[in-house]
Amino acid sequence: QVHLVESGGGSVQAGGSLRLSCAASGYTSSSYCMGWFRQAPGKEREGVAAIYTGGGSVYYADSVKGRFTISQDRAKSTLYLQMNSLKPEDTAMYYCAADPIPCNINMDRSDSYNYWGQGTQVTVSS
């Protein structure tokens, strides 16, 4: 059973930065598609970024391109999301997700992932 634990959320002012981490354990496959999602109150869960741990594909939502960077440390089994130039509309609960398949065209859909963390809150004030 894959276990994902997010950390690094907090409150920042607009224009600030945060780095989210997702520590993974219990891997049963050599590579996973791993994604970051976010959900604001009253809104649907939105795919933010995704990366294939085996190398190759990286995905970003248009709303975060140029501001957010997804990366991984395979030795530490940790996924990161560096968030720069944060905006109030980035305020949401951020979730890490994983699935033991290569990332594909549906990597921005929450139903493409079987494993989820508990989330970490990001609040950006204007």
> From first to last of its 126 residues, what are the pLDDT tens digits of the chain?
899 999 999 999 999 999 999 999 988 888 899 999 999 999 999 999 999 988 877 999 999 999 999 999 989 999 999 999 999 999 999 999 999 988 888 888 999 999 999 999 999 999
Length of the chain: 126
DSSP 8-55: --EEEETT--EEEEEEEE---SS--EEEEEEE-TTS--EEEEEEETTS
Residue 89 DSSP class: G
